Amino acid sequence: MKKALLVLSGLALFACQKEAPKEYVTLSGKILQQNSDSLLIRSADYSKTIFLKPDGTFSDTLKVSPGIYNLFDGAESTSIFLKNGYELNLSLNTEMFDESIRYEGTGAEQNNFLAQKSLKEEALLRIDDLKNISDMAALDSTLNAIKNELSTFYNANKAIDTMITNSANKSLEPMLKTYKSFIGQSITLRNELPKGAPSPMFSDFENYDGSTTSLADLAGKYVYIDVWATWCGPCKAEIPFLKALEKDYHDKNIHFVSLSIDDDRAHQKSWDKARQAWKAMIAEKELGGIQLFAPKGWQTEFIKAYKINGIPRFILIDPDGNIVSPDAPRPSSNELKTLLTELNV
């Protein structure tokens, strides 16, 4: 009896010594085709760098306040929900960044939901699809349907932390408002500069090689114009795709024109420095095609005629000098090659 009491006392003591909750997150995993030697976890008031081993594996602990953080791999980023006590294992292949993200371990359900949320939003809010909408009434109808579908998706799984669902619901209206503004501008632009209308013209723009080029000089072929600037991050992100496009369509019935709107305001109030920056980047990035410099930057008449107030902007003109699209697909979009194929370029 005495021995039995000792055993029961020991069991009771063990039961009382319940493991205290961990006051940190354990984050480990493996990154395939890594873009850098580290990951950055950050929020408005938190930042930590996690270094990757040569094989892409990593493991670290983070002491955090519960919330949604940004995980940045040096090229792309994703949202991650962290709460002390989580033990997350992440797998990611950067060649299919959003599509490949998977989590296992404590907290995995919350973070797999965030990954699925990102894919859902991307699928429903494809810019190239929305740009094909013909008028504002149709855009309103489409965005309202998207709102209902996303709202249902956000709130369907009651196991998801309310910090995540509340954040998603709160950001839904502002996000759709931004899309409406952007796509609405595209619809207005197509109405004011319709397909088949004569394109605005430019004359004697400075060429990188020291000569001058006019739009009329390019008649007889399609003209794809990339309006960009050296300080524009999204513009520079399109450069590899544009270079590949130029290679694929070499000797085809199309001119590729890059038109810089670098100006004095962006270069210490100096037009000379603007030109120097333009020429330096052309050399550094080994840019091909026809490289032109807009003489008055944003105030250039051709830029104003196409109502350009944000870059990059891509314009497609037919061999007769008529507008095909005042807001053509980007080089990185599959829609562009589809369009060029339809035109038999």
Per-residue model confidence as pLDDT tens digits over 89-147: 999 999 999 999 999 999 999 999 999 999 999 999 998 789 888 899 999 999 999 99
Lowest mean pLDDT among 123-137, 204-218, 246-260, 321-335: 123-137
Q: Give phi and psi for 296, each to the nearest 5.
A: -125, 25
Cβ(41)–Cβ(80) below 8 Å: yes
The token duo for 310 is: 């944000």
Torsion of CA 3, 8, 9, 10, to 10 degrees: 90
The residues with which 78 forms a beta bridge, in sequence order, are: 71
As a whole number, mean pLDDT of residues 186-200 equals 94
Contacts of 189 (CB under 8 A, 6+ apart): 306, 307, 326, 327
Residues 207-229: tens digit of each pLDDT: 999 999 999 999 999 999 999 99
* Alpha helices, DSSP H, located in the chain: 2-16, 97-100, 108-124, 127-130, 136-156, 162-192, 233-237, 239-248, 271-285, 301-305, 334-342
Lookup: tokens for 72: 């940045």
What are 5's two structure tokens? Answer: 């009491």
Distance CA 27, CA 32 (A): 16
Distance in angstroms (rounded) separating the CA atoms of residues 79 and 60: 18
pTM recorded for the entire structure: 0.72
Q: Record the tokens describing residue 30, joined without a space.
A: 């493996």
d(CA 322, CA 316): 9
210 vs 205: CA distance, rounded Å: 10
